[in-house]
A and B are shown apart, each in its own frame.
Chain A
């Protein structure tokens, strides 16, 4: 009997709930309309999957799921409507700040499809590691342009192609040309300053590090990383002996692995949101660190926070400025 009473109560509860939840948050669709009204000529691009995507006109409501893509958008003058992990972006990518109204669509690895749908975007820019099922669901919402955000065999070329791809979709080719030209002259100028300081051919080791508990993992930016290639353009030479992964040119090592470097400029980046400085505070009193020739010579540089090392021309210009200022004074 008790069961029945509970059953009745629950049933009533369910009914009440269903009644309370009636109504709609959105009016039913009348006749289906095509999303964005075409303004201007059709735009057709081929993305990293080799998929051809056609737009009725320049896309204006863009969502960016990888920070480099967001940086391209902002610097080209298209403020995205949605960005994955806005808080993280704001801490790590200061070259291209977001305005107030940009909506957070969740974490980069698993962005919220629902948050993106609610934004009614007319394009979603995603990196090539997005979950396949999520990609299918995103494509129902808006055309998804998949971008290979890094390629260790040609990092700068990949960056240029990405900028151009994003510019094409958003109708900002002129801005892109200007931006890339500006980037090239910044590189040339930086190279001149490095050469003038007599640093051409100087060996450089760029890294970041994560301190947790009693352990420091160091991530070398090896040959093929964007940073290493930009440094090379400046006339500096990669000192890391190991190979990195095929996309980002990243490897891993520990303090001991730094002994293979010899006499180099050691340059690292971190961010205050990470807490203690992994190298200066983490390695204070560490005998290996203190035995390193570049530590003894004082050739250790922490770059200013907020330069995104996997970013676009704007971040890379920041890097060029920071590294030339640090090395060539």
Chain B
């Protein structure tokens, strides 16, 4: 990995020039095709006629006020993100650093949405400055909690977590301020369409200056690539160079967000594309070439995505489908490809909480269990009482006894399934997370991060899109198939060199980003005005759950927990290393497969019950291990309760705070779960950093 970022000695000017020319030619070709696409009848022939002076005024207007702004938006955004990605990857010496994985885009986006929500009408320049502040804040946070950002996995995880939390905040704002933020939901996925050259013209100089400044820093960045010590010896101010380059990268990303919203993963893709050619053309490693070539590749990626959408769906499709969703799919593929090329990065990174060697005594376990149980009961009771209508315990008692008054009956009839769905789905995700973490021996593995939840979501949304009236069991079944397929894909792709590596997490994160983008694509394309559906699947919601929908989760949870209880010793052994279970006669491959499949099915039932829920499967098992030690007989019940507790709490807050309107549980889970996760990463930074 690192060798790829080091500037080699040999550089042939001719080859470099040839590659650059080839890149420019491809981008020009894409631009030409891009200009012929649109919602009007203006085609290539009309544009040619314009060149010879035979075109109409309207054709000229279409070119100047519609096609060119969109093209230039693509150019500005692509160049900015490509260069930003290259700079961030160089200063972190990490091929997975990018405006998205460092949450820069999410931070800038949040600030812009917040402005709209609070009714601040600001000129483009000011909004770019605000976006810059937001992006800088988010990046600083990610660097901070990942401990300097040198480890790829920690950086990507911290970035994903912070992005998730910021996007959760964005959806809270959009839900709270529906009027003020109309349309920003779609914009959140990155849209190139412009009504004029205004924002492009204002941001282009910023982007140009940013790129020029990065190129000017090129020599220093080259030296930095040789290692900090060498750089110091050669007289390069390491810290200052890093900070200046990072600030420039954030500025570039913020400019891009101001123009088109967060266009996903261009900053990750573009340098990766350049690096693909770099072994053939060593000169490309030099930053004076790397930065502009990444910018060029960024333009290529954005334009290719936009051209592709409109080739496939026509001019009108280009209005409905956000370009950023397509680039996110590209980005997911690149993320997986880059992650696959990782060499095993040595010993398994384990958060201290996970390998907690301290043997907790039985009494601690009992106390923790009692307290967790009491808390779960309290939160469950609270969530039965709170909501749009406030009830008292007597009402619940009457309801249980079947003699409640009619209003109480209706309220609880609707509320109890929701509370149950939250409790059970939370427990299912937590148990699945605990099992996956043990089997993979990776404390960062969890169903949502590994793309398993995403796979279940893709299959479920595809199913309800094709057959809207599908039954609960069929839906759960197809989600299970999707989850198993996604696990097979992730584990298959990461299999080289064993499972317990960072690669698994990185491949998983890639697959999970890809599946989120696919879900957005399916919903935007088939059901564009159904915001409720999008929120249910992408954020996780208990709205409208009924008892029959909760049954699959309950059944699978009981079966799985039964199985895991029997396999608890096996789980303990698998979590240790490969040899111990083998020596003790545990059929390693078979048990792993069975346990992972059980976890995937468990995840799928949770997803089909309440949609994608982030971080529950990660946070709950961690907290459980920290509280009661590593033995599964103890971890599983505590994790299950903590998972249920977390989702139930998120759900009741979402149902109560802005009643009669509501926030989806998953949004609040992300808001509650992310700080814990961030703290977990931050606390473990010294141990592994």
Q: Can you report 18 residue pairs joining A to B where beta carbons are below 8 Å apart?
A: A24-B394, A26-B404, A26-B408, A29-B398, A29-B403, A106-B388, A110-B661, A114-B415, A134-B544, A252-B319, A256-B62, A257-B39, A257-B40, A259-B42, A286-B195, A288-B66, A291-B62, A292-B58
Q: Chain B residues near A143 (CB, 8 Å)?
A: none
Contact present for B195 and A215 (CB under 8 Å) = yes
A209 vs chain B, min Cβ distance (A): 10
**CB under 8 Å from chain B, chain A span 3-29:** 3-4, 6-7, 10-11, 13-14, 17-18, 21-29
- With both chains docked as a complex, state the minimum distance between the C-beta of B182 and any C-beta of chain A, in angstroms: 6
For A13, the chain B residues whose CB sits under 8 A away are 378
Q: Smallest CB–CB gap between B125 and chain A, Å?
A: 13
Of B95-103, B348-356, B363-371, B666-674, the stretch lying at the interface with chain A is B363-371
A260 x B41 contact (CB < 8 A): yes
B389-431 at interface with A (beta carbon < 8 Å): 389-395, 398, 403-411, 413-415, 417
- Asked if B259 lies at the interface with its beta carbon under 8 angstroms from chain A, I say yes
- Enumerate chain B residues within 8 angstroms of A131, measured Cβ to Cβ: 532, 543-544
Stretch at the interface among A39-47, A115-123, A226-234: A115-123
What chain A residues lie within 8 Å of B3 (beta carbons)?
A: none
Which listed residue (A10, A28, A106, A287) contacts B65, Cβ 8 A?
Answer: A287
Decide: B261 and A213 in contact? CB cutoff 8 A.
Answer: yes
The answer to whether A18 touches B393, judged by C-beta atoms less than 8 angstroms apart, is yes
Residue B347, interface by CB 8 Å? no
**Min distance, Cβ B493 to any Cβ of chain A, angstroms:** 36
- The CA of A147 and the CA of B545, in the complex, are separated in Å by 22
Give the number of residue pairs across the A-B interface with Cβ within 8 Å. 245
Q: Contacts A11-B374, A22-B394; is A255 near B195 (CB within 8 Å)?
A: yes
B682 smallest CB distance to A (angstroms): 24
Q: Is the CB of A288 within 8 A of B62?
A: yes
CB distance from A262 to the nearest CB of B (A): 10
In the bound complex, CA of A21 to CA of B199 (Å) = 56
Does A117 contact B389, Cβ atoms closer than 8 Å? yes
A290 close to B61 (CB less than 8 A): yes
Known: A21-B385, A115-B388. A291 touches B407 (CB 8 A): no
- Determine which of A25, A111, A289 lies in contact with B395 in the assembled complex, contact meaning CB atoms within 8 Å: A25
A113, CB-defined interface residue at 8 Å: yes
| CB contact list, A125-149 vs B, under 8 A | 129, 131-137, 140-141
Give chain A residues whose Cβ lies under 8 Å from the Cβ of B591. none
Q: Does B29 contact A (CB under 8 A)?
A: no
Q: A6-B371, A28-B405, A140-B410 are in contact. Are A111 and B660 (CB under 8 A)?
A: yes
Cβ of A253 and Cβ of B39 under 8 Å apart? yes
The answer to whether A214 and B320 touch (CB under 8 A), given A26-B407, A131-B544, is no
Please give me the residue from chain B that is nearest to A119 by CB atom. Answer: B407
* 7 closest residue pairs by CB, A with B: A257-B39, A212-B183, A117-B410, A134-B544, A133-B544, A106-B660, A109-B532
Indicate if the CB atoms of B546 and A137 lie closer than 8 Å: yes
Residue in chain B with minimal CB distance to A13: B378
**B173 an interface residue at 8 Å Cβ cutoff?**
no
Q: Is A174 an interface residue (CB 8 A)?
A: no
Closest chain B CB from A128 CB (angstroms) = 11
Report the separation of the CA atoms of residues A291 and B61 in the bound assembly, to the nearest whole angstrom.
7
User: Which residue from chain B places its CB closest to the CB of A4 in the assembled complex?
Assistant: B367
Q: For window 197-228 of chain B, which residues contact chain A by CB distance below 8 Å?
A: 198-200
A255 CA to B70 CA, complexed, in Å = 12
Q: Decide if A173 is an interface residue (CB 8 Å cutoff).
A: no
Contact with A along B280-309 (1 / 0, CB 8 A): 000000000000000000000000000000
Chain B residues, CB < 8 A from A137: 410, 413-414, 544, 546
Cα separation A88 to B392 with both chains bound (whole Å):
32
Distance, CA A72 to CA B112, complexed state (A): 40
The answer to whether B546 touches A26 (Cβ under 8 A) is no
For the complex formed, measure the closest distance between the CB of A93 and the CB atoms of chain B, giving whole angstroms: 15
Taking CB as reference atom, which chain A residue is nearest B200? A214
Q: Does B120 contact A (CB under 8 A)?
A: no
State in angstroms the CA–CA spacing of A6 and B528 once bound together: 50
Q: Are A287 and B64 in contact (CB under 8 A)?
A: yes
Contacts of B116 in A (CB 8 A): 212
Asked whether A3 and B182 contact (CB < 8 A) given A18-B381, A112-B662, A259-B42, the answer is no
Decide if A100 is an interface residue (CB 8 Å cutoff).
Answer: no
Which residue in A24, A133, A252, A286 is a CB contact (below 8 Å) of B392? A24
Q: Does A273 contact B (CB under 8 A)?
A: yes
- Please report the C-alpha to C-alpha distance between residue A257 and residue B315 in the assembled complex, in whole angstroms: 9
Chain B CB within 8 A of A55 CB? no
Tell me if B12 counts as interface (CB < 8 A to partner A).
no
Q: Which A residue's beta carbon lies closest to that of B394?
A: A24
CB <8 Å contact, B374 and A10 = yes
B316 at the interface (CB under 8 A from A): yes
- Nearest CB to that of A217 among chain B residues? B319
**CB–CB B191/A286 < 8 A:** no
* Min distance, Cβ A23 to any Cβ of chain B, angstroms: 5
B237 at the interface (CB under 8 A from A): no
Instruction: Report how many residues on chain B are interfacial, defined by Cβ distance under 8 Å.
Output: 89
Complex Cα spacing A96 to B392, Å: 38
Q: How far is the CB of B8 from chain A (nearest CB, A)?
A: 42
CB of A216 closer than 8 Å to a CB of B = yes
Q: Is A210 an interface residue (CB 8 A)?
A: yes
Task: Give chain B interface residues in 372-391, CB to chain A under 8 Å.
Answer: 374-375, 377-378, 381-382, 385, 387-391
Q: A11-B371, A254-B193, A255-B66 are in contact. List 20 more A-B contacts (CB 8 A).
A: A10-B374, A11-B374, A26-B395, A26-B404, A29-B409, A88-B179, A107-B532, A109-B530, A110-B532, A111-B660, A112-B661, A133-B545, A211-B183, A212-B116, A212-B182, A214-B199, A217-B193, A217-B319, A258-B40, A283-B195
B-contacting residues, A234-253, CB 8 Å: 242, 251-253
Q: How far is the CB of A264 from chain B (nearest CB, A)?
A: 14
Given A10-B375, A113-B414: A106 in contact with B661 (beta carbons within 8 A): yes
Q: Find chain A residues with CB under 8 A from B661 CB.
A: 106-107, 110, 112
Tell me if A105 counts as interface (CB < 8 A to partner B): yes
A104 within 8 A of B: yes
Given known A-B contacts A131-B532, A212-B183, A287-B65, A104 and B660 have beta carbons under 8 A apart? yes
User: Which residues of the partner chain B approach A171 to less than 8 Å between Cβ atoms?
Assistant: none
B184 within 8 A of A: yes
Asked if A285 is at the interface (CB within 8 A of a chain B CB), the reply is: yes
Alpha-carbon separation in the docked complex, A10 to B370 (Å): 10
A285-B408 in contact given A115-B388, A212-B187 (Cβ < 8 Å): no
- B198 lies within 8 A of A251 (CB): no
- Min CB gap B623→A, angstroms: 14
Q: Is residue B279 contacting chain A, with contact meaning CB distance below 8 A? A: no
CB pair B58 A214 closer than 8 Å: no
| A198 CA to B385 CA, complexed, in Å | 66
**B61 contacts A287, CB within 8 Å?**
yes
Q: Does A282 contact B (CB under 8 A)?
A: yes
- B387 and A259 contacting across the interface, CB-CB below 8 Å: no
Instruction: Let me know if A214 and B413 touch, CB within 8 A.
Output: no
Q: Verify A242–B65 contact, CB threshold 8 A.
A: no
A107→B174 CA distance, assembly (Å): 13
Q: Which residues of A contact B41 (CB under 8 A)?
A: 259-260
User: Is the pair B659, A7 in contact by a Cβ cutoff of 8 Å?
Assistant: no
- Residues B404 and A112 in contact, CB atoms below 8 Å apart: no
Is B530 in contact with A129, judged by CB distance below 8 angstroms? yes
Cα A129 to Cα B528 in complex, Å, equals: 13
Given A133-B546, A257-B315, A286-B65: A14 in contact with B364 (beta carbons within 8 A): no
The answer to whether the Cβ of B552 comes within 8 Å of any Cβ in the partner chain is no
In the complex, which residues of chain A have a beta carbon less than 8 angstroms from the beta carbon of B531?
109
Of B381, B405, B414, B544, the contact of A26 (CB 8 Å cutoff): B405
**Which of chain B's residues has its CB closest to A133's CB?**
B544
B38 touches A105 (CB 8 A): no
Q: How far is the CB of B422 from chain A (nearest CB, A)?
A: 14
Nearest residue, chain A, Cβ from B470? A132
Of B38, B319, B531, the most chain A CB neighbours within 10 A belong to B319
Determine which of B180, B404, B660 lies in contact with A105 in the assembled complex, contact meaning CB atoms within 8 Å.
B660
B61 adjacent to A25 (CB under 8 Å): no
Q: How far is the CA of A120 from the CA of B409 in the complex (A)?
A: 11
A120 and B407 contacting across the interface, CB-CB below 8 Å: yes
